[in-house]
Structure 1
């Protein structure tokens, strides 16, 4: 965090104190003079500290009295419910139509003039180290001018893979550079992993809800998907997965995002990760770990990958730099355990080798402390944006809205009250050039049609604030229209419906 401006570091310090209860609701914030004296800062810096916390909804200014701690509106909003454990194994589904549904959504986005886009899951371009990466790529080309005229290495650039292997140690993984295969983002890694362990018609267990890109991959490969209930706090339900394995017995793989799951934002405890691995080992099920987001967890402390406990090559670890370093580079990688030779063959047959220049540039940058400083800056910016977005939703959305505010990442998962269709809200918002990702994209079950995923990767501006307010107004109007359309008890329409229902066998 030392790379952040001083006022932001101090604001983060006091935010930790507020969250821990050291500064309680209604308590007076240390005065500007106290801040100046205690931290040896200027009046301007002390004011910036308080304004930063005020902008996030954590402080309020009282006339001639100073700043006081307030409870943000989002504290009063109900968290998402844990999924119900029905004791009934889920039914496998083909995901027929999910690709068409996603295609229609993408087409609408392209055909409309979108001014505020909450549907994506990445940070604003200015939050990535563009200038430093350009310098690293230029340096790599000066040192190795043949990069553009010789064929790239099959597994990926050796230097880049060495950097990835060293970085993987922080997550508990012991990998040799030759254990790593560079891919075109994580989505190609997932494609290769699924093709390595399954064939058309096989069953794959997935989190529910899950990233719609994975659902498209499953459909394109002709795989049957088994949606497993997933907690907004702790990830995939091991009990439900155990029941599914007992019921079907032919699950070929489980695909999970253990850290900042997309779209829920859940983080699996280590005990759950180990329990999941044991279950997969006992049943001979491949465990595909999508670790795209772990570097965005607020604490900054490296989280252990499931792969770190893998002694038998049962885990296929997939990762990406797309969200955390450079969306334009499309760099991903995988370590496939006992399927490594097969995924390398499939990669060669499918897309051949990745070009080398971006790997060399990324590797040079990631080998330095500048990469760690970038991640700290990125996490800090996302934390501020996420808090402000959550606060706006709590203020502006209709009563009954639920929300999961994860400990990091790029997005919020919001449940609309009254089971309001997020598709209806999406259509109404798109007419006003605002785009959201409706929950129907993240499942084929229909259970999440009244949810939406909202991005908070862009700096919070007046335009974003106005768009969130308008979303809240639209949701409120749609709920009122929905309620008005329902027959009231005792009216002729309600009596007719009741009479008709009682006549059914």
Structure 2
């Protein structure tokens, strides 16, 4: 099975044709439209093929004429942007904090760092109406605290919805949390001690690295790809090694930041591997509901036969970030998680849980999700095409099948941290690849959020980023 991204497969196909003489120097290269029809690929994929070949030096664009084959050459090495105060490596928590603080000090006009949708895409008016109704029915609602595990009606809805993902969850085994971050924090505190080693995907969500450092846990990074997620061969080698891996945290569906979706066969094997080696598997399913297809994605929990998995999820990205609602189903660790939740933050705020459960139990919720998925797919495609148009030749962009994020790989020699600082001066916020790993392997990558509807302002901001990358 070919594990290369589709655009690279097609680029290699045309490279072979050029090197073999089937396509000759000076000949016109197939148009974008022809490639889309011939190979049944998207506009974004066809454009990426051309950019890949441009980066290889075998293709040149001629104004109002199209693309033409040229003699291969070695493209000039780009000059890196200067990173302010570059020096010795600092801990991931300090590095993330410095990036966030720099962003807070700046005046942001266009925010590509956010993983959330624009406020107008969320059903805020519906939730406000449900909140008002809840307060009318119970005027003293805000004068009481809620149960530690959360509103039972909401937990019942979450358990029923899990069935569509082939996942068996019990409402009594669900604890409502303050977003997925608290759920992951509780999961780690339940199964590890300071000094234990936890494996994560690489790259991974920078907030997770902060959580791990705050709990004094050692981190072992396992390579992951945008094509199929975590590398199972590398993981198995690590699990068979001398160092005990106490837990593994993965996002099998629309991983942050890569957007990868693990094939079902990989999911089943991953669950089996962790069970065989006594490694607790912690699943983060924050983005699963944002997949493009109507068919829900299977969770890792579906294959869990030994109660060796803790399931975490959130409504922050799909419904409303302001409600800060997530949940955890910890199986045999439920009692410990419940105790930790009570000692850490008590029960979550009740009003938002009532409003969310009232909305989620109606058919309107599914209609809302369908509209949101369609909108996000269009926004990702528009932003991806603009990136490939304005960024340097050789730039690569992932093609996730859902969600709000794109992972952008710049050609070798570019610094995403340098771009971050230069972009901030112009009111544009991105997230550099440096903060998604404890290793320096992603310094030329960046994450772009696509939650805001495409507009001339968005395109101009991407054009500005491209211009900054051209500067010495």
**TM-score normalised according to structure 1 size:** 0.77
Distance verdict in 2 for CA 1:176–1:470, change over 3 Å: same
Instruction: Verify: 1:426 aligned to 2:434, yes or no.
Output: no
Distance across 1 between alignment mates of 2:138 and 2:294 = 34
Deviations along 1:144-163, one digit per CA (max 9) or x if unpaired, are 33421222112101111111
2:454 aligned to 447, 455, 460, which one? 460
Distance across 2 between alignment mates of 1:341 and 1:205 = 24
Could you tell me how far 1:284 is from its partner in structure 2? 1.1
Consecutive unaligned residues in structure 2, runs of 5 or more: 1-31, 54-88
Residues 426-435 or 325-334, more deviating: 426-435
Residues 425-434 or 462-471, more deviating: 425-434
Q: Verify the 8 A CA contact 2:287 2:318 in the aligned structure 1.
A: yes
Distance across 1 between alignment mates of 2:345 and 2:447 = 32
Instruction: Verify: 1:320 aligned to 2:314, yes or no.
Output: yes
1:437 aligned to 427, 431, 444, which one? 431
**Aligned twin of 1:117:** 111
Could you tell me how far 1:418 is from its partner in structure 2? 2.6
Distance across 2 between alignment mates of 1:162 and 1:136 = 18
Matches within 5 A, 1:66-465: 73-78=47-52, 97-465=91-459
**Aligned twin of 1:496:** none
Bigger relative contact order (CA 8 A; separation at least 6):
2
Deviations along 1:153-210, one digit per CA (max 9) or x if unpaired, are 1210111111111111111112221110000000000000001110110000000000
> SS in structure 1 opposite 2:270?
helix
Q: Verify the 8 A CA contact 2:35 2:46 in the aligned structure 1.
A: no
Q: Verify the 8 A CA contact 2:404 2:449 in the aligned structure 1.
A: yes
Distance across 1 between alignment mates of 2:169 and 2:236 = 30
Q: Verify the 8 A CA contact 1:133 1:362 in the aligned structure 2.
A: yes
Deviations along 1:77-130, one digit per CA (max 9) or x if unpaired, are 449xxxxxxxxxxxxxxx961111111111111101111111111110000001
Distance across 2 between alignment mates of 1:449 and 1:200 = 29
**TM-score normalised according to structure 2 size:** 0.82
> SS in structure 1 opposite 2:190?
helix
Residues 320-329 or 337-346, more deviating: 337-346
Aligned length: 402
Distance verdict in 2 for CA 1:27–1:447, change over 3 Å: closer
